[in-house]
Chains A and B, each alone.
Chain A
């Protein structure tokens, strides 16, 4: 115990009763913020999520205006300019970017001559425009010689004034235009599907959870039956039966997709409506509508937003997946999945056809997942610092 240690004697005149001016103990020292303000603050502190948002804004903008950056249309087929590699002004002078409008590959033969011949044959017999670099001289045995051939296709086709930024496909359609149109289709499908899931799911789950009792029983039985059927099977069957197109895919995705949202909303409503603050509001004579709008909605909004944010990438993935196995968007319409599917068929020869749409869909998926993660953290009160 410290005992009575008084190093510096306290001044005697201070030993008088303290006059309190105002009660400061109840003052709130922290600035007061609403839950959503806190959530917003937490979200914008998350760098990855903010970067993702910016990326998505750019991608959405490009899907709107990108196709009009050049004069080539989505359907501008022209076999004379088929399979042109990417060529971008300025970037064409930087060799490793692969945007200089040349095709390049290694060729083998028993001698250098044979390998060269193979290369030239492969490249439209346009001997004058194929640059050969010998990699290995060879000893006459099969495939011992190897050359690296660079084919300057733009010069060969006398199209040195043309720039196909991301190249052209097998039918000579401009890949840049098709990629952004495809992104547009993919995003529309995703947003519409997510919006429909949201509407049906929230209404269904909300009614089921809020009214409870027999209504809830009936609605829950319906959901149980629906979710017993694998959604993959439903989607397949619908797409086989319906005409392929945006609306069929949206319908296929949403016909069972909303059950997830309905379940989450129901669970959350059930939980929240038994909370004491709702009981308090009810005791004070609030109407049902007001309780739903003023009390329940704000408290389940977070989980709804988060769930929607995760529906979008999964819809994008499903569209791509369906188009990839030939059940989704079919050419000449484009979607990211359809472009990847088309690119895959020739990807050993023209890797750029699959590369750019694959990168783009990956970026979109990552961005949406990161935004979703950011939102989940933002709506978690434990993360509010």
Chain B
């Protein structure tokens, strides 16, 4: 298991290296520099600015500088916010995104599993249909439409929560719900299908033949077996949360990574774009690794064989 993890981490580093390199050269291809907004500068002032960003060096030197900077956690200096290192910007922007993402993941998964369980237990009853409809709507309707609805009704019309921005805990409620809907619906659908599959399996009949009670059947025998496969969709769910934060933070004007990224694109702040891209990549890869390890831990069938996809 440990060797497997180490090998995965090794591949992770290679992937990140490739991403960083590709990103760097793509950005160099693009028009725009810290000067484009300030073209009234004199020749000497231009020199100073270019020197500050290291843009006078030949590109290979810039590349080596950038990559060595990366190793030290230095992502360069923002074009847009004067003199602010990108690393600082990202660190400042992390907490709101983490709070939203974490809350949405926990709340969404738990609610989804509950919905899915109820649907499977009352298979073909009205609770099942209701929860199926919720799941279909939740997986189909784009999160920004949901966010709009929540903002319009719960905040604008009824004034239950703040319309936007960040500050108190109440500010987190609407964005969290909007973010949580997709993971919730996915988890609900998945849990329902898996639970029904499990309830129809031979070993459940064995358990029934032993005289295990219905609640024992569902919680002791059914739940674990139907939740193990859920781990495999956690990856796509986490990715959807990342895409989600971009739009949700924009809609609710949350000062998080996503909102930062969208506005960096608008002002062509390349160092920040690159930094955010790398951050997303790291998160993505780490999440996949964690999920793989988690899967190996909770499924006894994989534990001994040392994991693997």
Contact = CB atoms under 8 A, between A and B. Distances in A.
User: Is there direct touching of A and B in the complex, by C-beta distance under 8 Å?
Assistant: yes
Interface centre among B141, B156, B266 (most CB of A within 10 A): B141
Given A241-B29, A313-B140, A325-B247, A354 B19 contact: no
A346 B14 CA distance: 45
Interface in A226-275: 228-230, 232-233, 236-237, 240-241
Q: How large is the interface on B (under 10, 10 to 19, 20 to 34, 35 or more residues)?
A: 35 or more
A352 interface: no
Nearest to A347: B148
B205 interface: no
Interface stretch (A37-45, A118-126, A138-146, A362-370): A362-370
A362 B277 CA distance: 29
A229 B20 CA distance: 11
B141 A325 contact: no
Contacts of A233: 19, 277, 280-281, 284
Nearest to B287: A230
A362 B145 contact: yes
Nearest to B266: A326
B281 A344 contact: no
A225 B145 CA distance: 34
A225 B26 CA distance: 19
A19 B262 CA distance: 86
Interface residues of A, number: 33
A210 interface: no
Interface string A195-235: 00000000000000000000000000000010011101100
Interface string B272-308: 0100010011001100000000000000000000000
Contacts of B29: 241
Nearest to A48: B136
Contacts of A351: 152
Interface string A72-109: 00000000000000000000000000000000000000
Interface in B238-262: 239, 242-243, 246-247, 250-251, 261-262
Nearest to A325: B262
23 contacts: A228-B12, A230-B239, A232-B243, A232-B284, A233-B280, A237-B26, A240-B30, A241-B26, A320-B144, A321-B142, A324-B247, A324-B250, A325-B261, A325-B262, A326-B262, A327-B265, A340-B144, A351-B152, A358-B148, A365-B141, A366-B140, A369-B140, A373-B136
B4 to A, nearest CB: 15
Contact of B141 (A225, A228, A366, A370): A366
Nearest to B189: A373
A5 B18 CA distance: 88
Contacts of A342: none
A351 B153 CA distance: 12
B11 interface: yes
Main secondary structure of the interface of B (DSSP, over half): helix
B144 A324 contact: yes
Contacts of B250: 324-325
A141 B30 CA distance: 57
Interface of B: 11-12, 15, 18-19, 22-23, 26, 29-30, 136-137, 139-142, 144-145, 148, 152, 156, 239, 242-243, 246-247, 250-251, 261-262, 265-266, 273, 277, 280-281, 284-285
Given A230-B280, A230-B284, A326-B266, A354 B148 contact: yes
Contacts of B243: 232, 321
Contacts, number: 92
B141 A230 contact: no
Main secondary structure of the interface of A (DSSP, over half): helix
A63 B246 CA distance: 29
Nearest to B182: A317
B136 A362 contact: no
Nearest to B259: A325
A228 B285 contact: yes
A330 to B, nearest CB: 11
Contacts of B145: 340, 358, 361-362
A348 interface: yes
A232 B278 CA distance: 11
Given A241-B29, A326-B265, A369 B142 contact: no
Interface string A342-385: 00100110010010001001100110111001000000000000
A212 B41 CA distance: 62
A177 B140 CA distance: 25
Nearest to B285: A228
B24 to A, nearest CB: 11
Interface string A289-330: 000000000000000000000000100010011001111000
A365 B280 contact: no
A23 to B, nearest CB: 37
A150 B212 CA distance: 66
Nearest to B139: A369
Interface centre among A228, A236, A351, A365 (most CB of B within 10 A): A228
Given A229-B19, A241-B30, A317-B142, A369 B136 contact: yes
Given A320-B142, A358-B145, A369-B139, 8 more contacts: A230-B281, A232-B242, A233-B281, A233-B284, A324-B144, A325-B265, A351-B152, A361-B145
Given A228-B285, A347-B152, A237 B140 contact: no
Contacts of A368: 140
Interface centre among B12, B246, B273 (most CB of A within 10 A): B246
A344 B253 CA distance: 12
Contacts of A325: 246-247, 250, 261-262, 265
A333 to B, nearest CB: 18
A237 B136 contact: no
Nearest to B18: A229
Interface centre among A240, A366, A368 (most CB of B within 10 A): A240
Contacts of A228: 11-12, 15, 285
Contacts of B22: 237
Contact of B15 (A225, A327, A365): A225
Contacts of B266: 326
A274 B204 CA distance: 30
